[in-house]
Structure 1
C-alpha cells in the first residue's frame, strides 16, 4: 500500500490508550504480527482491518488517513511543553505524578512529563566507558536512570513510552531496546547497622538476578555459567549474612554481566543509581569502617576488569576517592555540578518551569524564583524539580525539599570542625555568601576536612557556586529561601539552642511583640552552653545576626553598615508593609553593678541620635539590647 496506514494505526491506538500487546490480544493475533503492522513490515487482510476498526471505534477511511480530523499528531510529547498527552478524543488533562520515579509507570499513567531524553543521547555519545554524575537529592536522577534502562533494555518493548520525545529525532533512536541492562538502585540500601545494610544490598541484587532467572535453562549458557549463576542466586536468597555470602555479593554483578553477554550476544550496560547511599547511611549511623571494604570491593569488581561491560553510569551525591574503588579506572569521568556534561538533564530550566506552571494554571513570579531558583549546574541555571512540582500541585510556597542525611553530616561537622570552619559558616549565614577552598575529589566521610565538607555541601545542593575565583577556590552562596530553612535548624544546632525558641523569638520580633521577644531572647541566652562564649558586645551581635538571617524571606538584612551618621549593628529592612523595619543596637558591660536598663536606653539614644533609620520608610521599631553575661535588658521605641 502507498498510504501511511501504519502511522495512522499507531496514532489511533495511542489515542485510545491501548498498548501493542492489548491490541494484539483484542485482535486475536500474536504481538509480533501486530508490531509488524505498526512498523510497516506487514499489512493486514480485510477481515483483520474490519476487526481493527471495531476495536478502535473508527472507520476504514480514518485508518488510511482519509478523515483524520480528530486523530492526534504522533508528537504526543508537545515540543513546547514536553507534555505526554494523548489527544484525539476529549479526555481529562494529564496530571502531575509527584513522587513517581519509574519512567514506565510515569508514561503509562499518561502523566505530565518534562522531556529529559537528551540524557540518553549525551550518554551514548560520551567517549567514556564509565561515568559518575553527582547531583543533589530529588533532582531527577532515579527517573532519568529508569528512563535510560527502559530505552536500552533488550528484554522490553519501550517504543510506546518514547513516542514524541526528543530522542526519537536522534540518530541514536536505533539503539532502542538493543542491549542487556543491569539496573540497580541503591536508593533504599540504607540501615541502622552493618548487617542490615548488607542484607539490603543483597536483596537489591537478588531482585535483578530474578529478572533474568528464566535464561539459565535456555541452553545458551555453558554448564559452568549455569552452575555459577545458580550458586550466587541461591546465596542471595539466604536469610543469613556471613563472609561467604558477602563474597558472593561482591562477585554477583560481574558474573551476571558475563551470563547476559553470552545469552544476548551483546555487552552489558550497567546502571547504578544513588550508588553512594550505602556509604552515607553507614557514615551517619556510625558503622562506616565495618562496611567500607565490602562496598568498595563490590563496586570495584563490577566496574574494573569486567570484559563484558559495554558502558556503565553511576549517579549519587558525591564521588568516592579515585585512590580507593576507582583506582585503575583510566576511562572514568566524574561529572560534578560545576561540569557542563549533562548540565540540563537534571533539574528544571526556567522555561520548563514556566511551561509546567502554565499547564497547571499556577503563577510564575519573582517570589517563586527567590524560593526555588538559584542552583547552577555547569552553564545552566536550574530549579529544584521536586519543589516546583509540589508548588504547582498545592499552590502554596512552602519548603518541600529536605536532605536529612546531608544535614546530619553537617551537624556532626559543626561539632568536629575547628574555629576556621565556624567563621566561614557564620560568614555564609550572615552575609549570604562566602569564599572558601572546595575539594570535589573525594567524599567528606573519607577525609573530614573543611574543603571536602564544602564540596559535599555544593554537591548536595545546600550551597551553590557563584564564581570560581581560582583553582579550588570558589565563592558560594545559599541557593534560595527554601534552603535557608535547613540552615535555621543547623544554626540552632551550632548555637546549641532549641530551634523552637529561636523561631518564637524571631516571630515575636516581626510582630512587634517586644515583651515576648525580650522573654524569648533571655531564654536563648540562658540555653547557650558556655558563659565564656559571651565575652564582648560582638558576641551578642553575631549570635543574634546569625538567627536574624532566617528572616530573609521578609527582610533585607544589613550589619555594620554605614547608615545616617554612623555604623549600625543590625538593620532589618521590611520587604512587606505588614512588618515593621527594625534596628537593633547592642551594648555590653563587664561590671555587674552597671544598670542594664540605662545601658539599653543608651543604645536607643544612639540609634536616634545617629539617625540609623535615615534610609528607612514607613514604620520603624528601635531596639536596644544591654548585656552582662547571660543577663539582658531590652528596651524599644517606635518612630512617631
Structure 2
C-alpha cells in the first residue's frame, strides 16, 4: 500500500508518526553540524521544505524530543553512531516570523513580541525553576506581548542564558522565515523605524549572545548585512548560487522519479520534468520544488501548484514600474531566451527603487529565474548571471501575473485581444479605451501619463501585461532595432502555433500639443514612423510577406487612446 501524501504538513514529528510520504533529508543535520559554523543563513524559495527541515532539526537536537529516537530510525542520519549520541541533548529555541505580515509598524512589533512570549511559554518550567534567582524568575515572567521594546530585543539572549542555567548547555536557535517581516515593512512603508528594532533584536540574539551554541536562519532573500546584521562577522550566508546544502532543500531528479514510480506515475516523467524541473543550487541542477511534486503525486495532474501559492506583491510592483530595458529583458525571458545581468545577491530594500537590477536578484532568490551559470569579470570580479525562466510552471506564473493586471476588466481585455488578431480597428479602439479607463490608475506611478518624462516605461509595462497571454502563439519583442530605428512592440508568430496569425508591429506616441493639434495627427505620425524607419525589415528578413504584416499606431493622451492601422502594404 502506498504511503499517504499529506499536503502542507510542516511538523516533522507528526509527519513521521503518521507514516506520511517523506523524502529523507536528514543528511542536512550532519552537514550543518559538521560545518562548525556559528550562525548560518540559508536562502531558498518559498515552499522548498525550509520549515520542515527546521522542524526536523528541532526534533533531532531538542531536549523536548530526548526520548523520540523512533522519529529518526531508518533514516540516513541514524546510521551514524556519533549522531545517535547527541539526539535530544540541547535546548532549542525554535520560532518563525512567517506570520508577521502586518501593514503597520505598531502591529508588526506587537506580533513579534507575541511570538517571543509564546516561545517563553514552551520553557515555562525554567521560569519556575530554582536554577534561576528570584529576580531572574520575575524577568522571565515579564516577557509578554505587552513588554517594552528593550526587553523584547534582549529576550532571546536572556532565554539562552536561562536555558544554560537550567540545562547546563548553550542553546541552539532556529529562526524560520526571518525575512518575511522585512518585506512587509518595505511594502507598507515602515522600513526605517522597523529595521532599527529588528537590528537590535538580531544583534542581541546572534552577535552578543555568549550562550548561543549554534543558530540557523532560513528565508527567501539574503537581506543586506548593513540593514539588520550590522557587525555580525560570524554569519555564513548560503544563497541559490552557493555549493553547500545544494541537495538539502528541494527534491533531486532521482528522488522525484523514485516517487513517481512509487505512486504508479512513472509514465508522466517527461511532463513532470518539463513543468517542475529547472531549479539550480550551486552547480547542482535538476532540483524540483517539493510543493509541486507532492501535489502532483496526490492529484496526478499537471497544474500550477507552487506558482499559485503567493501574491508576489513586491515583484508585481517592481515589474510594473520598471524601465523599458528591464521589460525588454522580461520579454526575452518569456520567449525562452537568456539574459545577462550584474547584481548583488544581497537585497538592500532601501535601494530597490534606485537599483533596477535588484529585480533580477529578487526573481532569482524567489525561484522564478535560475542562474544557468555565474561568471566573474574584471579586476573587481563582478558577478554576471546568465538567467532564464526556471520552468513551465514559473512561466505560467508570469503570464498569470500580467493577466491579473487586467482582471477587473476581463471582458474588455478579451475583446481587445480578439479585435487585435482579427484586425478590427473599430473594436480595438472601443475595448482598449474601456481597459484603459479601468486600469490606468492602477498602473500609473503618480505622474500624468501624457506628460511623464519616460512614456516608454509606462506604456511598455501596460502593453507587456496586455499581450503576454499570447506568448505561446507569438514571440513578443519590444524596443529592438529593425530597419533604421527601434520599434516599440513586435509580435512574431510562432510557426508551431499553426494558426496563420498575422505579424504585428506597434508604435506608441504620447500626444505632444506642441507638435500635433489632435490625437489623429499623433496616431498618423506613429504609423508614418513605422514606414519611414522600415520596422518591417526584421520580419521581411524572416520570410514574412507584406500582406502578413499589420501596422498599428497608438496615440495616448491621459486616459484616452486612439488606434489606427495599416496592413498588407
TM-score of the superposed pair, with normalisation by structure 1: 0.70
In the TM superposition, residue 411 of structure 1 has moved relative to its aligned partner by 4.1
Give the match for residue 258 of structure 2: 355
* 1:467 has 2:388 as partner: no
Aligned residues: 523
CA distance in 2, matches of 1:540, 1:454: 21
| Alpha-carbon distance, 1:141 to partner | 0.7
Q: Confirm or deny that 1:259 pairs with 2:168.
A: no
**1:300 is the counterpart of 2:203:** yes
Mean alpha-carbon deviation: is it higher for 347-356 or for 548-557?
548-557
Query: What residue is the counterpart of 2:44 in the other structure?
Result: 135
Quote the residue 2:331 is aligned against.
430
Deviates more, 1:266-275 or 1:483-492: 483-492
Q: Residues 338-368 of structure 1: CA distance to partner in whole angstroms, max 9, x if unpaired?
A: 1111111112222222222333333535444
CA contact (8 A) 2:199 2:230 kept: no
Whole-angstrom CA distance in 2 between matches of 1:446 and 1:498: 31
Contact 2:46 2:366 in 1 (8 A): yes
Please, what is the CA RMSD of the aligned residues? 4.2
Matched, 1:215 2:130: no
Larger deviation, residues 504-513 vs 376-385: 504-513
120-129 vs 204-213, greater mean Cα deviation: 204-213
Conserved 8 A contact 2:44-2:50:
yes
Tell me which residue corresponds to 1:386.
291
2: distance between equivalents of 1:304 and 1:276?
Answer: 18
* TM-superposed deviation, 1:574: 5.3
Structure 1 partner of 2:152: 249
Q: 2:242 aligns with which of 339, 345, 348?
A: 339
State the Cα distance separating 1:459 from its structure 2 match. Answer: 1.3
Query: How many angstroms apart in 2 are the aligned matches of 1:128 and 1:97?
Result: 33
Match of 1:179 among 79, 90, 107: 90
Summarize the alignment of residues 119-130 of structure 1 with structure 2, pairs less than 5 Å apart.
Answer: 119-130=28-39
Contact 1:182 1:269 in 2 (8 A): yes
Pairing of 1:511-526 with structure 2 (within 5 A): 520-521=431-432, 523-524=434-435
Q: Distance in 2 between matches of 1:265 and 1:572?
A: 70
Structure 2 matches for 1:348-427, cutoff 5 A? 348-362=251-265, 363-381=267-285, 382-402=287-307, 407-413=312-318, 421-427=322-328
Q: CA deviation at 1:319?
A: 2.8
Q: Does the C-alpha gap of structure 1 residues 113 and 532 become closer, same or farther in structure 2, counting only changes over 3 Å?
A: same
Instruction: Summarize the alignment of residues 154-169 of structure 1 with structure 2, pairs less than 5 Å apart.
Output: 154-156=63-65, 157-169=67-79
Change (3 A) 1:391 1:520: farther
1:623, 1:636 within 8 Å by CA — same for their partners in 2?
A: yes
Describe how 1:302-341 pairs up with structure 2 within 5 A. Answer: 302-341=205-244
Give the secondary-structure state (helix, strand or coil) at the position aligned to 1:552.
helix
C-alpha distance in structure 2 between counterparts of 1:307 and 1:99, whole Å: 36
Q: Which of 551, 556, 563 in structure 1 is aligned with 2:470?
A: 551
Q: Secondary structure at the match of 1:131?
A: strand
Instruction: Confirm or deny: 8 A CA contact 1:135 1:459 kept in the other structure.
Output: yes
Structure 1 residues 367, 512: CA separation in 2 closer, same or farther (over 3 Å shift)?
farther
Partner of 1:13: none
Q: 1:206 aligns with which of 117, 120, 125?
A: 117
TM-aligned CA deviation for residue 124 of structure 1: 0.5
Question: What is the DSSP-based 3-state SS (H/G/I as helix, E as strand, rest coil) of the residue aligned with 1:464?
Answer: strand
Name the CA distance, whole Å, in 1 between partners of 2:401 and 2:496. Answer: 25
Residue in 2 aligned with 1:583? 503
* Bigger CA radius of gyration: 1
Choose between structure 1 and 2 for higher RCO, CA contacts under 8 A separated by at least 6 residues.
2
> 2:141 aligns to what?
233
Q: Please give the alpha-carbon distance, in whole angstroms, between the structure 2 residues aligned to 1:477 and 1:428.
A: 10
Q: Structure 2 CA distance, aligned partners of 1:535 and 1:399?
A: 35
Q: Could you say if the C-alpha distance between residues 614 and 229 of structure 1 is closer, same or farther in structure 2, counting changes exceeding 3 Å?
A: farther
Would the alpha carbon gap of residues 518 and 103 (structure 1) be closer, same or farther in structure 2, given more than 3 Å must change? farther
Q: Cα deviations across residues 355-383 of structure 1 (Å, max 9, x unaligned)? A: 22333333535444343332221112222
Distance 1:284 1:593 in 2: 41
Deviations 1:249-282 (A, max 9, x none): 2221111111212222222111111111222222
Alignment-derived partner of residue 631 in structure 1 = 562
Residue 284 of structure 1: which of 181, 184, 187 is its match? 187
Q: Deviations over 1:507-555 (max 9, x none)?
A: 6379969687775456456765635689999998996566444433455
**Paired residues of 1:340 and 1:379 also in contact (CA < 8 A):** yes
What SS is found at the alignment partner of 1:323? helix
Alpha-carbon spacing, 1:506–1:347, altered in 2? closer, same or farther (3 Å): farther
Structure 1: gaps spanning 5 or more residues: 1-91
**Distance verdict in 2 for CA 1:397–1:562, change over 3 Å:** farther
Residue 153 of structure 1 deviates from its aligned partner by 0.9
What is the CA distance between 1:111 and its match in structure 2? Answer: 0.9
Helix, strand or coil at the partner of 1:146? helix
SS at the partner of 2:275? helix
CA 586–325 in structure 1, closer or farther in 2 if over 3 Å, else same: closer
**By how many angstroms is 1:316 displaced?**
1.1
Q: How does 1:53-132 map to 2 (within 5 A)?
A: 92-132=1-41
Deviation at 1:195, TM superposition (A): 2.6
Secondary structure of the structure 1 residue equivalent to 2:225: coil
Task: Decide whether aligned partners of structure 1 residues 170 and 481 sit closer, same or farther in structure 2, where only a CA change above 3 A counts.
Answer: same
Query: Which residue number corresponds to residue 512 of structure 2?
Result: none
What is the distance in 1 between the residues matched to 2:261 and 2:424? 43
> In the TM superposition, what whole-angstrom CA distance separates every residue of 1:442-485 from its partner, at most 9, and x where no partner exists?
43246643244432232122322223233233232332333334
Q: 1:523 to 1:477 in 2, by over 3 A?
A: farther
The whole-number CA distance in structure 1 between the counterparts of 2:196 and 2:14 is 36
Inter-CA distance 262–235: structure 2 relative to 1 (3 Å threshold): closer
Q: Secondary structure at the match of 1:203?
A: helix
TM-aligned CA deviation for residue 128 of structure 1: 1.2
Relative to structure 1, the CA distance from residue 447 to residue 593 in structure 2 (aligned partners, 3 Å threshold; closer, same or farther) is closer
Deviations along 1:543-577, one digit per CA (max 9) or x if unpaired, are: 656644443345555777999xxx99421215455
Of 531-540 and 378-387, the range deviating more from structure 2: 531-540
